[in-house]
Amino acid sequence: MAGLQLQEGQSMQGLRGQVIFLFLFSWLCHSVSGQIHYSINEELRKGSIVGNLSNDLELNINDLSRRRLRIVSDMSEKYFNINLDNGNLVIADRIDRETLCGASADCVLTFDAVVENPLNVFSIKIDIQDINDNPPTFVHENIKIEMSESTSPGRRFLLQNAEDLDIGINSLITYKLSANQYFALGEKVSSDGSVFPELILEKPLDREAQDKHELILTASDGGNPLQTGTALITIIINDINDNSPIFTQDVYKVSVRENIPVNSTILQVSASDEDEGINAKITYSIRTKAKNILQTFTINPRNGLITTKGYIDYEVSRFYEISVQAEDGGSLAAKAKILIEITDENDNAPDISITSLSDIIPEDSAPGMVVALIKVHDRDSGENGELQCKIKGDLPFELISSESNFYKIVTKSSLDRENISSYNITIQASDKGSPEMTSSKVIQVNITDVNDNAPGFEKLLYTAFVTENNLPGSSIFSIQAKDMDSGDNAKITYSIKTRGKEDDSLSSYMSLNPVTGVIYAQRSFEL
């Protein structure tokens, strides 16, 4: 085995954009199988010589064209060419080791060199060596950290690490922090050997003296020349939550009419906090488990607006006492009380109920007889609940106030069943609200008969004509009387009244049916 070492200095300085020569070390190794091995740096400029292939393959320069020396490889043909005039293997295109091999420790390109007449194939292996062409970079060039002014010295804050696409010494990273009086730089080594920078607080912070700090974190690699990357660390000093919220009032009072629409705003509470940021951000809430309050009212957690979420009914509840809380972002809280008085609206009509009723009374009832006892009630209050009660129409009845909300219906004059046998008594109750609300109820009272009417004939004198020789037992006349009473009091019995001996002689000529009033002949009459 024979070896040949070639050197060519060539390098690139990216910051100035100027090209200088880098040191090129390449070596060649012959074997029985004909394998050639070169080693070059990445990023050599186009046309740079890798090695003299004709010499290394022991080929005559004059025979290179005739024997058609060439590269057989899809990939390597892009990066390398053979100069058939001098036998040099040269760079045909930019070679970026990081693009080809990433972070792999070894980066090798292989291809075959072929000659003909006679045919021979040579294996070519080229190691691509890393150069320090990539600076360390941070994923985020701006790092923001928030900490409280009460943070204790010694507290450590993990920072993001920098990355370098190079390998080996070219990717070895060290960190440096810009000079300041509050923070120092440390490092944390993870279980896999990764190193992360840490920010260490060295002395107490004072937000009132300085509420923001800006530091430069510099990452440097181990290459030559050295390359660096930076990130700006902005440290925001937050206020310590040493102030509780304060309500503008300890007790809020408001008057609300019943039946206001749902979602109506009734009150806004307000609290302030002398802290800043999240410590001054106040959230409002109703602090109760009472279902009637939670079903009726709600509070906007951001602005303290209290609105109705259900209907308010004065007759259900006339007063609400609500506890509200203002809590800042640091869990400090204050409480206030809200007193809500509900004012009445005239939304209830009077209610009339019958407590006792005599719906049948005799017509000879004396004035003042109690017919019924009624109760009137209005759920409203004040003038809305003050009632006036009366009987509509001109009837022989009147209302007399008995006790609070009770009235008696009594007769105020004589009754005459024969004139009116039944009364529909309409009781009307009205409140004094605005607008007025009215209710009415009808009571039917029937008048029963007493025997206060005597039967009466249509005439005081009746004249009847009877033909002579009439048949005995035939009807010769009929009389009719009427009675204004009813029932048994109106049943009439007829009879003939005579004086002395006339009765005997009259009864021999005629008879009277006591029920129908029909007169019958007892015998024939002769002139």
Residue 3 has pLDDT above 60, yes or no: no
pLDDT of residue 474: 87
Give the chain's largest Cα–Cα span: 198
pTM of the model: 0.46
Res 463 pLDDT > 90: no
Tokens matching residue 458? 């249509």
Q: How far apart are CA 307 and CA 164, in angstroms?
A: 60
Query: How, if at all, do strands 228-238 and 305-308 pair?
Result: unpaired
- The DSSP code for 261 is P
- At residue 500, the pLDDT reads 61
| Position 305 pLDDT exceeds 90 | yes
Residue 115 has pLDDT above 50, yes or no: yes
In the block, residue with structure tokens 């928030």: 146
- With cut-offs at 50, 70 and 90, classify the pLDDT of residue 243: confident
Is pLDDT at 1 greater than 80 in this prediction?
no
Higher pLDDT, 155 or 527: 155
What is the pLDDT confidence band of residue 250, given thresholds at 50, 70 and 90? very high
* Residue 499 in this model has a pLDDT that exceeds 80: no
Q: pLDDT value at position 392?
A: 93
What pLDDT digit, counting tens, does each position of 51-84 carry?
A: 999 899 889 988 888 999 988 886 777 889 899 9
Q: What share of the chain is helix, strand, coil (3-state, %, to 5)?
A: 10, 45, 50
pLDDT exceeds 70 at position 99 = yes
Instruction: Give yes or no for a contact between 258 and 264, defined as CB atoms under 8 angstroms apart.
Output: no
Rounded distance between C-alpha atoms, residue 490 and residue 35, angstroms: 152
Which residues, including other chains, have CB under 8 Å from residue 386's CB and lie 6 or more apart? 378, 431, 432
Which residues are CB-neighbours of 257 under 8 A, at least 6 positions away?
Answer: 342, 343, 345
Inter-CA distances, 27 with 40, 111, 128, 243, Å: 9, 16, 13, 75
pLDDT of residue 483: 86
Query: Which pLDDT value is given to residue 6?
Result: 30
Interatomic CA distance for residues 170 and 268, integer angstroms: 65
Averaged pLDDT for residues 288-307: 94
Write down the H helix ranges in 161-265.
none
pLDDT of residue 18: 26
Query: What integer is the mean pLDDT of 376-383?
Result: 89
Which tens digit of pLDDT belongs to each residue from 165-214? 888 888 878 999 999 999 999 988 877 777 889 999 999 998 878 889 99
pLDDT in tens, 203-227: 999 887 888 999 999 999 888 888 8
Which ranges constitute the DSSP H helices of 259-323?
291-294
pLDDT of residue 150: 87
Determine the average pLDDT of the residues in 318-323.
93
pLDDT band at 5 (very low <50, low <70, confident <90, very high): very low
Q: Give the pair of three-digit tokens for residue 82.
A: 């053979």
